Chains A and B, each alone.
Chain A
Amino acid sequence: MSDHTEIDAVSGTSTTGHEWDGIKELNTPLPRWWLLTFYATIIWAVGYWVVYPAWPMISGYTSGVLGYSSRASVAVDLANLEKLRGAKMAVLATIPVGDIEKDPALLALARARGKAAFGDNCAPCHGTGAAGAKGFPNLNDDDWLWGGKIEQIMQTIEFGARSGHAKAHEGNMLAFGKDGVLKPDEIVTVANYVRSLSGLPTRQGYDKAKGEKIFADNCAACHGADGKGNQELGAPNLTDKIWLYGSDEATVIETITNGRGGVMPSWASRLDAPTIKALAVYVHSLGGGK
């Protein structure tokens, strides 16, 4: 004990020797059960160190006699979850993709699973809400290069476009300028003609007849005589309001000069079939589906 031992006159209890603003702390003993509980927690803590991973070491940590690891525990949880979902996922695996939307429960399941898979795999290019970006299609709108039916969407996800997969969509916008097919002034003329197809303003005094002629000779093969595109070839509709790379004159000129050929990867080798189905349902339900 310290030298400060003194007895409080009122309570007859010794003080601890600590004093604040004239108030002295009484050395009141703790209740026994409280003290025992306190000791029990200390013993518990020591036991915990032994049983579970606890102490950081120089290159690692004490792993505990149980060999517990939170990572393994998550893996077990995930495996259990898959087992739990097994029956429903089995249905998703076998049902034709077009029929999923007819069953509200399956639709909810596919949308939830699809949304998660979309966030993991598709969002880097198409955005978390699938709003797309320049060169990466907005999946919420109704303009589809390769078709917006649920089966078509699934095919695009599965095999991709220009992905190198044998079943991938193929079709390139040629580089008419770079390859010397069209002269720069012809490109300007046809660019203005193309803009006029979707009602955009054209440069003053451009030769419409000449533009129409250039278009018919060079572009109509893929984009159609009326410019409405061809989903077989992934040729965009040039008469609508949606432009993947932008609709201003300079961008259209650049497109015609250098061509375009965005790549959609094939997901067949990376995602399992039910997930691809779920993704197709999710993308279709975003609103763009036909």
Chain B
Amino acid sequence: MNKLTRPSELEKATEAPLYAARKQVYPQSVSGTFRSIKWRLMAVCLGIYYLLPFVRWDRGIGAPNQAVLIDLPNRRFYFFFIELWPQEVYYFTGLLILASLSLFLMNALGGRIWCGYLCPQTVWTDLYYAVERLIEGDRRERMRKAAKAADGGVTLQRMYEVTAKHSIWLMIAWWTGGAWVLYFDDAPTLVRELLTFQAPVLAYIWIGILTFTTYVLAGFMREQVCVYMCPWPRIQAALTDEWALNVTYKYDRGEKRTSLKKAAELRALGERVGDCVDCRQCIAVCPTGIDIRNGPQLDCIQCGLCIDACDSVMEKIGRPNRLIGYDNDINIQRRMAGQPEIYRPVRPRTIAYVALIAGVGAVMLYALLTRHLLDVNVLHDRNPVAVRLSDGAVRNAYTVRLLNKHSTERTVTVGVDGIPGLKVHVIGNDSNGSDRPSVVIGKDQTEELRVLLTAEPDIRLDASSPVIFRITDVGSGEIATARDNFVTP
């Protein structure tokens, strides 16, 4: 046994539990600037999520008229006027890049704005807390009721409250899962099918999964998701800099903390005391149950509710508000040194983020506006690469895939440039007698053709010569091309 260890401490150490029980957080209701911003953002976010599937968009006959639709069976993604095919998933890569850059920019300007106001975990947890507060009362009541319940004091009233809370939670969770599946099928039809129990089994399974996750994550896991499961606080810590505005306790103004009465006495004696009266309101309202006065910390989602709580106290005691506010360490140091505050939203980091966002956005927009609605991919046969025919002619075979992203059927001709006199033959095609066989592609379809190119024996060719497949829409004249090579044996 280590002799340096004192017995009492040793006892405490050896009795350290195998696990740490969760400390239940009972956030108190609060009102103020940031609370109202949160209410509004919550309404906007939830409104978009729940209602977007019902927004209609006319795409003509035979095409889905849902504004946002992920059509998995047909492998199409519809977003208002945009229709994406599987081979265009790089747009999603672009969107993900834009999303990350926006997070970086938000972070460089105002810290974890995402965590505090926009993250689904925050939004739904906040909603769940609102329900809880509505039924069980505010912080003190909930704590009292929980303590009573823990002592075995189960009353009819308590049973009613618990049942009501969980029922509403489950209804919200169910509707959340329900809205999710609406993005994958025609929403009004699916709602009708769901109500008459005729929807696909998969829809019910997904609603079940999302009901469960919403209920568990927002009802029980709550802040633990942010603290234990979410990688963003860790990444954010590495991205932040000294200029970013974070929810900060201005200790230069707050310390020393003491009660109002004591502070007055000390001030009368000419001693320096802070504005913080140690009322612990900032802790009471915190949804993650932390003490912001301990400085920036991983558990803090920077929702700003402590700012509202502190401001209301400052108002009551007649001190200037924003003892807790969006601030940074630079300004704390500057105030302490008697220098004026400075803020720098425009600095190399933010300029770089904005420039990158603009750049990626411009590239994506350009790609989107100039993309072809008629496309062709060509794959040369590899085995054999070339065939000598009985009369000495040389033939190469290709797999040609035509893509018609129009909502109408189209007739196109298949032609080849690059080597004069090549004969084009499409397997299974009637119009092979002509120079440029024509092919019909159904609306919104791909068509895979086997195309044979033949060079007559009298044509002199290099070992490999470039050829260009030229697909021309007979109706509109739109052209799609693809390069490949013609090989001699």
Contacts and interface: CB of A to CB of B under 8 A. Distances in A.
Interface of A: 1, 3-7, 13-14, 27-36, 101-102, 104, 107-108, 111, 127-129, 131, 138, 140-143, 237, 240-242, 285-288
Nearest to B388: A241
A240 B22 CA distance: 87
Contact of A29 (B5, B20, B384): B20
Nearest to A287: B452
Contacts, number: 109
B97 to A, nearest CB: 33
B19 interface: yes
A128 B383 contact: yes
Interface of B: 1-2, 4-5, 9-10, 12-14, 16-22, 221, 224, 228, 381-384, 387-392, 395, 397, 425, 427-428, 447-448, 450, 452
A31 B10 contact: no
A29 B383 CA distance: 63
Contacts of B21: 32
A49 B1 CA distance: 42
Which 9 pairs show the lowest CB-CB distances between chains A and B?
Answer: A129-B383, A14-B13, A240-B390, A131-B384, A29-B20, A32-B19, A101-B428, A35-B19, A140-B387
B19 A34 contact: yes
B20 A31 contact: yes
A237 B390 contact: yes
A146 B238 CA distance: 74
Most chain A CB within a 10 A radius of its CB, from B16, B17, B19, B387: B387
Given A31-B22, A240-B391, A101 B16 contact: no
Given A7-B9, A128-B383, A242 B18 contact: no
A287 B19 contact: no
Given A241-B389, A242-B390, A6 B4 contact: yes
A5 B14 contact: yes
A127 to B, nearest CB: 7
A242 to B, nearest CB: 5
A290 to B, nearest CB: 11
A5 B383 CA distance: 71
A61 to B, nearest CB: 32
Contacts of A102: 428
B386 to A, nearest CB: 9
A101 B427 contact: yes
Contacts of A141: 387-390, 395
13 contacts: A1-B14, A3-B1, A6-B2, A13-B16, A14-B14, A32-B22, A33-B224, A129-B382, A131-B384, A140-B395, A141-B388, A285-B427, A287-B387
Nearest to A29: B20
Contacts of B390: 141-143, 237, 240-242
Nearest to B389: A142
Given A5-B1, A14-B12, A142-B390, 12 more contacts: A3-B1, A4-B2, A5-B2, A5-B5, A29-B17, A31-B224, A127-B384, A140-B397, A143-B390, A241-B388, A241-B391, A287-B395
A142 B392 CA distance: 11
B428 A29 contact: no
A138 B387 CA distance: 9
Contacts of A1: 13-14
A108 B427 CA distance: 11
Nearest to B396: A287
B4 A287 contact: no
Contacts of A29: 16-20
Nearest to A31: B20
A33 B225 CA distance: 12
Contacts of A36: 19
Nearest to B447: A104
A111 B448 CA distance: 11
Contacts of B450: 111, 285, 287
Contacts of A35: 18-19
Given A7-B13, A127-B383, A141-B389, A31 B428 contact: no
A50 B35 CA distance: 53
Given A31-B20, A141-B389, A241-B391, A3 B2 contact: yes
Given A141-B390, A143-B390, A5 B13 contact: yes
B4 A27 contact: no
Nearest to B428: A101
A107 B22 contact: no
A129 B18 contact: no
A183 B2 CA distance: 109
Contacts of A14: 12-14, 16
A242 B391 CA distance: 8
Nearest to B228: A31
A140 B452 CA distance: 10
Nearest to B395: A287
A73 B16 CA distance: 49
B384 A140 contact: yes
B468 to A, nearest CB: 21
B364 to A, nearest CB: 34
A252 B151 CA distance: 104
A155 to B, nearest CB: 20
Contacts of A143: 389-390
A111 B20 CA distance: 64
Contacts of B13: 1, 5-7, 14, 27
Contacts of A127: 383-384
B219 to A, nearest CB: 13
Contacts of B14: 1, 5, 14
A136 to B, nearest CB: 13
Contacts of A30: 18-20
Contacts of A138: 384, 387
Contacts of A32: 19-22
Contacts of B4: 6
Nearest to B451: A287
A129 B387 CA distance: 11
Contacts of B5: 5-7
Contacts of B397: 140, 286-287
B307 to A, nearest CB: 29
A208 B193 CA distance: 86
Contacts of B392: 241
Contacts of B381: 129
Contacts of A287: 387, 395, 397, 425, 427, 450, 452
A288 B428 CA distance: 13
A143 B382 CA distance: 20
Nearest to A284: B427
Contacts of A28: 20
Nearest to B452: A287
A4 B14 CA distance: 11
Contacts of B427: 101, 107, 285, 287
A286 B427 CA distance: 9
